[in-house]
Structure 1
Amino acid sequence: MKKLADEIDNANSIAVLTGAGVSTASGIPDFRSANGIWQEDQSREYYMSREYFHKDPEDFWVKYKEIFRLKLLKNYAPNHVHRYLREMEQKGKQISIVTQNVDGLHTAAGNQHVIEYHGNLNTATCPACGMQYPLVHVMTEQVPHCIQAGCGDILKPDIVLFGDPITKHDEAEAAVQQADLLLVMGTSLFVSPFNLLPVYAWDGRKPSGLINRESTPMDDQFEFVIHADLSRTIKELKKEG
């Protein structure tokens, strides 16, 4: 813990990869841990796919809003883990956050450089005309439609569905390669190609740390590995720093 805190203190630029474990303290369910929501019902992956959206967009939206608890999204707020990253930025460090989370809480916490690897729940876009709509419009009807004159198409949420291309990978890779230190927090590193990002730090032989409640398939790619509750670990790091 002390060695990792020293690395954080000494780094001028830090790339931070985050997953669901960062947002659980805000009340948002963990999706991919051993007890996560995807483990409850594997069919959710099919329903949250590009294929299913095009097959049955109306039922897709019913299931999407239920699975992601959209009506509760406005009740979530950044927690002390999000604020810790913002505090480092305020101290003059260059912080680049690459997040798997789609809740928008890193941006809400005030971080300036956030790469939302899997998109964001707060907006949806019309596939026909490209008009983007905020969450308030998405929640006005069970199946949100475009209201532009002559359009009326069913909106598609601005998250990466199963089967969608990842458009942010090159930007995320560059953030990792340009940083002095890689810090990975609250992710199981099961999802590809996101789990390839730590390899770029390992290949470059730069310091890297992993903080996650459970072990991951990528543990051996890190110099520092801490298996513990993320919230408590961040508090300990702040004491050591």
Structure 2
Amino acid sequence: MSLTGKLVILLITILHAGCATFSSGYTPEPVTTASSYTHSDPVSPQDISFSVDLISEIGKFDVLSKEGIIDEVKEKLRTIGLYKKIVYVPFRKKESKHFHFQVIISGTTEEESLVLSYMSGLTMMLIPVGLDYYSDMSVFVIEKNNEVFSASASEKFIKIIWLPLIILSPLFNDYNIANRVLEKQVDYLVSEISARPTIDTHKEINGKVSR
């Protein structure tokens, strides 16, 4: 490898190490819900399906993956214990009760990021450069082909490229912060939809109470 190539690789390595990513903390704390149903509950746990869309408006965004979001959502739905069967399916194959999660990533584009990183490299990372990203996550509750409820959570990331931040990069890097935010957003949205009784639940409870 030529000397120029080695210098380019070294510069890219320093740029990745000499930066830190922070989040805004806009997402509210999860709503408190019951952890599980018991035998004395008037309504049995339900079967549900869910789907996930990950949309990046900024080009390549490797720190989040659709598979990672699916795993996070499924794990949270299982943890709260309100549903008997939880299945991931494409939206077109949804069951009678379905949760559709949509994540939209926006902000500094891939091209803009490259330009800003190059400018930072020219100054030897002595002048701070900021890149802004936004994660907007929504959930839509579909019951019998009708949307009956929705909730959303938005978060802002700021990635600062600056040499002194190299000491923070092991903890405050893109991957750690993005996945921490994902977990918080999923916690909040799942708690929102779980705290809301379904139409069928209302009917069954009312029917049992009136007897």
| TM exceeding 0.5 | no
TM bin (shorter chain): under 0.3
Higher relative contact order (CA 8 A, sep 6+): 2
TM-score scaled by length of structure 2: 0.25
Query: Which entry has the higher C-alpha Rg, 1 or 2?
Result: 2
